[in-house]
Amino acid sequence: MTWSQDFRAALLTPDAPEPKGLSNGANAPAGRRYAVYRNNVAVSLREALHASFPVLVKLIGTQNFDMLAGVFLRAHPPKSALMMHYGADMPAFLTDFAPLQHIAYLPDIAQLEGAIRQSYHSADASVLDPARLGSITPDALDTARITLAPSLRMVCSKWPIFDIWRYNMQSDAEKPRNIAQNVLILRAQFDPAPHPISAADAAWITATQNGATLGGAQNAAAAVEPTYDLGPLLTLLIQNNALNDLKTKDQP
């Protein structure tokens, strides 16, 4: 291990000795200063996790979250200097975190909060003029492909993750129902917002993201719901500037 690796490893290990050869401005051992710096690093990472997962904090309480964050930050140190990316491993971490496995929906809540954060930091993109959809013949539209906005995210869960998120973020929200929910995160302008969607809607979104034609995406949704009507989902996407481009079969 190099000196820099030793320095970094010791930062996230509270009982580890300071790296050898470390001195302060007076050329004396910098043990105390290193301890203060180590504490500041841990506090900063913990605060970043608080900001990224406000619903998790409310669900398990601040004290419990601080303990969780302390274990997490030592198992998953930052991979980037950009703190907006920190915490991406939280859903997988919670899946295997034994003390909280009795709250089985926590990993999906963490995934939803992470997706909202990703949507916020995603690149801007041009918005498709809805008039183009009406200017194409039905046959051409069936073989056309739609590109969705880069800020769009989707989380599918067997838990009522939208209801849980809303109940903890909105003061007038109703209590969560005991249902599975799929959530689409859309960013109309600056702040992303989650929207509950059906399983058929989720199948349409997945097929479209995988490059299916509009006809193919419709078939994917109809396999889940035979009488599927794309209208409500398409309206939601248009209202939230979530359609990026449309290409017909004869376009390169």
Axis-axis angle for helices 231-239, 199-209 (nearest 10):
60
Give the number of other Cβ atoms within 10 Å of residue 57's Cβ: 19
More confident of the two residues 221 and 77: 221
Q: Give the 3-state secondary structure of residue 138.
A: helix
Q: Give the 3-state secondary structure of residue 247.
A: strand
Residue 64: is its pLDDT beyond 50?
A: yes
CA–CA distance, 207 with 192 (Å, rounded to integer): 22
Instruction: Give the pLDDT mean for 143-157.
Output: 97
Residue 210: is its pLDDT beyond 50?
A: yes
Residue 140: is its pLDDT beyond 70?
A: yes
* Radius of gyration of the CA atoms of the chain, in A: 23
DSSP string for 50-108: HHH-HHHHHHH-HHHHHHHHHHHHHHS--SSS-GGGTTTTHHHHHHT-GGGTTSTTHHH
| Burial of 10: CB neighbours in 10 Å, binned 0-12, 13-18, 19+ | middle
CA–CA distance, 252 with 240 (Å, rounded to integer): 27
All residues at 6 or more sequence positions from 161 whose CB lies less than 8 Å from its CB, including other chains: 105, 108, 109, 112, 155, 181, 183
168-184: pLDDT as tens digits: 999 999 999 999 999 99
17-47: pLDDT as tens digits: 565 655 555 555 555 666 665 667 788 899 9
Q: For residue 48, which of 75, 77, 7 has the smallest C-alpha distance?
A: 77
Residue 229: is its pLDDT beyond 90?
A: yes
Least trusted range by pLDDT, from 7-11, 85-89, 113-117 = 7-11
Residue 143: is its pLDDT beyond 90?
A: yes
